[in-house]
Structure 1
């Protein structure tokens, strides 16, 4: 969003990319003091991080200013979801993400490497596909403007195990990696899950179950691998 002075006479705003070409432009409606220029898209065309120039055109004249558009997405917390009825772990994980950069971005997927549950949300590799559906937030809130912190929850479980797995729900640990995927690169955060309390059997017909008690520790070694 670009905010203009109340008495401005700007006709059009042009956003010039690092390569010198027009990346996006917007006509300014008469009397408007706020103009939205979309630079992040779910269907392609999202901007690349770098130095941009915002040009305000008034008739035959123009003024410009430089903008550094560079998102910096960080995983700031990972916590287990607990069942509202009995207070035990559901096997799903809340992932809190913050954009501390100067440009917006979009979280299109969160996956988990080395999760004990074989059907845990997957990381999209290369041309692969995965279920990118989030339980929360709403689709419109998957975008992260600078200074925004948001909590994400995938629909499928992560810490769900059975008797044949290498880990158990009896005072055991599992180490896995959370991967937040954006158009500007993947952000990885290794975590350690402490599992205890035995199985949380909320579905008698299932052969895999979450553990009753889960505690998450963020480990060193995370970061952006773009």
Structure 2
């Protein structure tokens, strides 16, 4: 009668061309009605928004858990269970490279994969024991307001089920106090990257970093033009 697909922002219900479905209801795990949609005659696709990425803030958030799509046809109802359970995992980390200069920027890019069945996002990235002290901060709240260097558009922040996305935090953890070492050689340096996720749990990755190349000055500190970042271990946090 109906098929269901989950995208980054919508639950998409596909109907047969000759179906006589008149209404669709999405029921949240707590039994409350999350959304109701009237189906026009002949419609084959109905989109039910479960996340609303605004100009800066992500709103109308669904509740993780087992949902139900209630299909109403000729006075009868049919229920389709739909699990919306995001599962974000840190899978890689690397030095962020400036596309024009091909040099390291001092940022670190993390790769995150959604192995779950519901969309989610990383809202903030911080560090612990990084060379730049200001990068060692607490996670920002609320989770609906992403605080990132990239991506910056809220719609681009969201990861659909089965997809991966790269994130860059605001702070540049790979900044060193002047004067620079010979050949800008540092490391291996051990510290942690911490990512705050919309639905939890958050993640923490242990990094090993070595640098080299030429120093580029930034306010009595410097960034080395070359950096290698290795993600050694990953753990979940509450």
TM-score by length of 2: 0.79
Per-residue CA deviation, residues 12-36 of structure 1 (Å, 9 max, x unaligned), is: 2111122222122222233322222
Post-superposition offset of 1:87:
3.2
2:21 pairs with one of 10, 13, 18? 10
2:62 — aligned with what?
47
1:28 pairs with one of 36, 39, 56? 39
Per-residue CA deviation, residues 56-112 of structure 1 (Å, 9 max, x unaligned), is: 112422111111211111111111112344433110111111111111113222222
Cα 1:127–1:65 change in 2 (3 A) is closer
Cα 1:18–1:127 change in 2 (3 A) is closer
Post-superposition offset of 1:147:
0.9
Per-residue CA deviation, residues 101-151 of structure 1 (Å, 9 max, x unaligned), is: 1111132222223322233385425679x9803333643111111111111
132-141 vs 63-72, which deviates more?
Answer: 132-141
Post-superposition offset of 1:209:
1.5
2:106 pairs with one of 74, 91, 104? 91
Cα 1:110–1:21 change in 2 (3 A) is same
Secondary structure at the residue paired with 1:219?
strand
Q: Which has the higher strand share?
A: 2
1:153 pairs with one of 168, 174, 178? 168
Secondary structure at the residue paired with 1:119?
helix
Equivalent-residue separation in structure 2 for 1:43 and 1:159 (angstroms)? 30
Unpaired runs of 5+ residues, structure 1, are none
1:38 pairs with one of 46, 49, 58? 49
Q: Check conservation: 2:125, 2:170, Cα contact below 8 A.
A: no
Post-superposition offset of 1:188:
1.6
Unpaired runs of 5+ residues, structure 2, are 1-11
Post-superposition offset of 1:162:
0.8
Equivalent-residue separation in structure 2 for 1:112 and 1:23 (angstroms)? 37
Moved over 6 A (4+): none
Q: Check conservation: 1:189, 1:218, Cα contact below 8 A.
A: no
1:217 — aligned with what?
230
Between the two proteins, the alignment pairs up a number of residues equal to 220
Equivalent-residue separation in structure 2 for 1:122 and 1:198 (angstroms)? 28
Q: Check conservation: 1:40, 1:105, Cα contact below 8 A.
A: no
2:150 pairs with one of 103, 110, 135? 135
TM-score by length of 1: 0.82
Equivalent-residue separation in structure 1 for 2:43 and 2:58 (angstroms)? 28
